[in-house]
Structure formats: C-alpha cells, structure tokens
Amino acid sequence: MTPSSPSSVTAAERATSVCVPVGTTDWLAAPDAAMKRDAVAGLERGDVVLFPHLPFALSPAEAKLLDPAVVKEGTKTVKYDPDTGRVWGYAEGIDAAAMKSMMERYADHTRRLLGALTPYGSALKIGNTSFRPVEAQGRQQSKRHDDTRLHVDAFPSRPSHGQRIMRVFTNVHPGTKPRVWRVGEPFETVAQRFLPKIAAPFPGSAQLMKLVGITKSRRSPADHYMLQLHDRMKLDDGYQSIVPHQTVEFTPGQTWMVFTDQVSHAAMSGQHALEQTFTLEIDGMADPERAPVRVLERMKGRKLH
Ligand code: SIN
Ligand code: FE
C-alpha cells in the first residue's frame, strides 16, 4: 500500500475514539441524512458504529432465555438462519418457540436498520443470527478459536471471494454488565505486519479442499490470505501482548455494527449478546478501495480473486 493512497486509514484518523456514535434510538424509524453519512463513512473507514441507546426489547418468555444453560453442551452460541428459519445449537427442553421469535425479530430489525441507514441495497445479504448467553471471559478453547485474542474475521468453510463481513451486536444483558471489546490497529497496519510472512496458497489446494469437503466452494487467494491473517494474529503471543489497542465497553441497551473482516477486534468479557452477520459485495461499497481484499491486492500488486 502506498502512503499516499486516499483509501488508507492514517494513524491520525484512528488516534481518537474508534467509535462513531449514531443517534438512532428506534430500530424502525427513518434515519436522517447525517446519521446515514456518519454510519457509512464510519463503517467503511474501519470504525465501530455505535448506537448508544438502541436496546432490543425481549418478551418475558424471551428474557427467560438469558441463561448459559440454553446452549447445547460444547457450543457457545445458538444460531438461526433467516433464509430457512432453522434454529440450532440449543439445549433440549428450552422454549424453542421463544428462541426462534427472538432470533427472527433480531434478524428482521437489523436488516431493516441497515436497509434504511446504508445505500448497500441488494449487495448486502443477511447471514446467520447468533445468541451469545455464555460469559466471553475465561472460556477454555484453542488459541485459534479464542475471540479474546485480537483478530480480523474470516470464514473458514464458506469462501467469501472477497465479500465483506459486517456484524451487528446488541448487549441484551438484563443488568449492568458491559460487553468489553478491544479494538486493535487499522487493517493496513495489520496487513503490513503479517502479509510478508504468509506464503501463497499451495497450487491445487483450493480444488483439493473443495473436493474433500473442507470448503463448500473453491477457496480464493483472497480467502487464503484473510484466514492466514486471522490465524497468525491469534497465534502470535508477542503480537497480542504488545499491539496497541483501545478498550471499548458496550453497556446493556447499546447496539454496534462493524466490518469485522477489517477491524481488528477481541471480545474480552460480557454475557448475553445478540449478533447478526451480513455479507456485502465489494462493488456495493461507497469506497470499494477500502475493502481488505483491495488493500491486500495493492500490497501484493495483483488480483486475489
Ligand atoms: C468476535 O467476533 O470475535 C466476538 C465478538 C463478541 O462476541 O462480542
Ligand atoms: Fe471476531
């Protein structure tokens, strides 16, 4: 990446808070022009767009689900696919109808909010919804699966071919417990640090992984580099201990959205969150040059998908 590129995020841009507040307090109200402008500019720049007062109200039956016992043993989230209506990852005997209604409504509300706030239109596609009632701090897991380590998101089994990953979160804790995140360096800085160490994909590996079912479709070079970035960040103890970061606390009733494939993030602690994943075609962005794949392509000097 050349320092003069208009799309690079400078340290000065990140020097102040990484959060851009947007004043929407109603999921279904029409946002004004300033809200739309701030949200899209903030998202694409690699900031966290924060709605300081945008709670997601639960019915009494849904509120009873705020319990780590509702997840199936060995998992940490309950998932919902808005395209099929399927819910999975929950323990036997829970109120499955309430679970589904909560997830369905969260998917619907986040979709409508993004539809009103952004110009992305049909380039933005809804993915899975997740409910996270398990405390994020102190879970036993491998470094690669440990989201308390700073990372950028990448899909291991669903090749994205350079599509963006955007996630919306709401802290639905019934008390006062914040969800605490760390936000690390701008994507360009992360890439400059790790990309030179990553070897090109092994010739034929993409076809092989599809053939044996590791991936659902051919993994592009862009996916290869994004997955490697995710893994190398998380596995590097030295990096994790020295990398500059900001700590952000999201209190109950707050909602935030972020391009998690671009923004280095870690969830340090917190309990009871809802999350909705979206994918976005790069060409749907206001400034496609800010997409991680474009940053990597400029650094590599060639197309990666
Ligand atoms: C993550 O995407 O790394 C986890 C975020 C969270 O659960 O708050
Ligand atoms: Fe993540």
Sequence-distant (6+) residues with CB within 8 A of 75 are 89
Q: Which ligand is nearest to the CA of 178?
A: 1
Token reading at 210: 């599809």
Is 259 among the domain residues?
yes
Q: Which ligand is nearest to the CA of 262?
A: 2
Instruction: Identify the three-state secondary structure at position 50.
Output: strand
| Residues lower than pLDDT 70 in the chain | 1-15
CA 283 – CA 300 distance, rounded (Å): 20
Number of domains in the chain: 1
Convert the pLDDT of each residue in 149-169 to its tens digit. 999 999 877 777 779 999 999
Token reading at 207: 């076809």
- 292: domain range? 12-300
Helix (H) or strand (E) holding 224: helix 221-235
Instruction: Identify the three-state secondary structure at position 257.
Output: strand
CA 272 – CA 77 distance, rounded (Å): 10
Is 93 among the domain residues?
yes
- Taking the CA atoms of residue 256, residue 261, residue 264 and residue 265 in that order, the dihedral angle to the nearest 10 degrees is 40
CA 204 – CA 201 distance, rounded (Å): 8
pTM of this prediction?
0.93
Asked whether 130 lines ligand 1 (CB < 6 A), one says no
For ligand 2, the distance from its centroid to the CA atom of residue 182, given in whole angstroms, is 11
Is 236 among the domain residues?
yes
| CATH, residue 273 | 2.60.120
Mutate to test the pocket of ligand 1, among 268, 275, 276 (most ligand atoms within 8 A of CB): 275
Is 2 among the domain residues?
no
CB 48 within 8 A of CB 11: no
Instruction: Identify the three-state secondary structure at position 114.
Output: helix
Sequence-distant (6+) residues with CB within 8 A of 156 are 215, 227
Sequence-distant (6+) residues with CB within 8 A of 149 are 143, 233, 234, 240, 266
CA 206 – CA 223 distance, rounded (Å): 10
Token reading at 51: 């709605």
SS3 content of the chain, % helix, strand, coil (to 5): 35, 20, 45
Q: What is residue 3's predicted lDDT score, i.e. its pLDDT? A: 38
Asked whether 147 lines ligand 1 (CB < 6 A), one says yes
Mutate to test the pocket of ligand 1, among 146, 147, 167 (most ligand atoms within 8 A of CB): 147
Q: What is residue 13's predicted lDDT score, i.e. its pLDDT? A: 56
For ligand 2, the distance from its centroid to the CA atom of residue 259, given in whole angstroms, is 10
Is 1 among the domain residues?
no
3: amino acid identity, one letter: P
CB 195 within 8 A of CB 268: no
Is 3 among the domain residues?
no
Is 130 among the domain residues?
yes
Q: Determine the longest span between alpha carbons in the chain, in angstroms.
A: 58
